[in-house]
Structure 1
């Protein structure tokens, strides 16, 4: 069948408003690449260590809902790094309320480490 006829036979998919999720390994590589290009040298090692630890910690997750949530959040992070939004980025009260106590603790530790690096 000619390609022009195939288009008539195949139903068209509706346009997606959100981008498809990257596979985990591709997302991981893109984040590390974005760190190398967009982050200052002082923050790059901290960011790389954090990303590596999080991806390693979630490597054995088999719950599809958790996987999609994890990948979605990291893809949003990648967009903020690429767009430069991370410089003035602040968490809203709603975002903070959605976090578990463990996540808030991790965020606090990350903040302390970032301040320590800034002071050096």
Structure 2
């Protein structure tokens, strides 16, 4: 190839900075597997919550909601697999983004775990 053509050659696909999202069923199973390292009561609560959330969002049609849902759960999976789930804290920015219903769910969740 001539050196003048090298500057016009582009890769076929752009390089992604973010990891690819798991399909929903694979992500669900991976989360349940990752919960095996949790203590008994926390595992039971976590498994029930994951099942309820995935069931509630099963019929979602909006692609943005689906991508957001899968992205957040994949981030959660990374925290659990990383082993630093005890040190993980909810940030103020995350609370500011939540609706009043979501904040109510978080408060119920905290009361059940304490």
TM superposition score category, shorter chain reference: 0.7 to 0.9
Alignment of 1:1-120 (within 5 A): 11-36=11-36, 38-115=37-114
Separation (CA, whole Å) in 1 of partners of 2:87 and 2:97: 21
SS of aligned partner of 2:94? helix
Unaligned runs of 5+ in 2: 1-10
Q: TM-score, normalized by length of structure 2?
A: 0.87
1:51-107 CA distances to partner (integer Å, 9 max, x unpaired)?
Answer: 000000001110000000000000000000001221111111111101111111111
Determine which structure has greater relative contact order: mean sequence separation of CA pairs < 8 Å that are 6+ residues apart, divided by chain length: 1
Correspondence for 1:118: none
Root mean square deviation of aligned Cα: 1.1
Deviation at 1:12, TM superposition (A): 4.3
Higher helix proportion (structure 1 or 2)? 1
Q: TM-score, normalized by length of structure 1?
A: 0.82
Separation (CA, whole Å) in 2 of partners of 1:52 and 1:106: 15
1:2-34 CA distances to partner (integer Å, 9 max, x unpaired)?
Answer: xxxxxxxxx443332111000000000000000
Unaligned runs of 5+ in 1: 1-10, 116-120
Separation (CA, whole Å) in 2 of partners of 1:14 and 1:68: 19
Separation (CA, whole Å) in 1 of partners of 2:40 and 2:74: 22
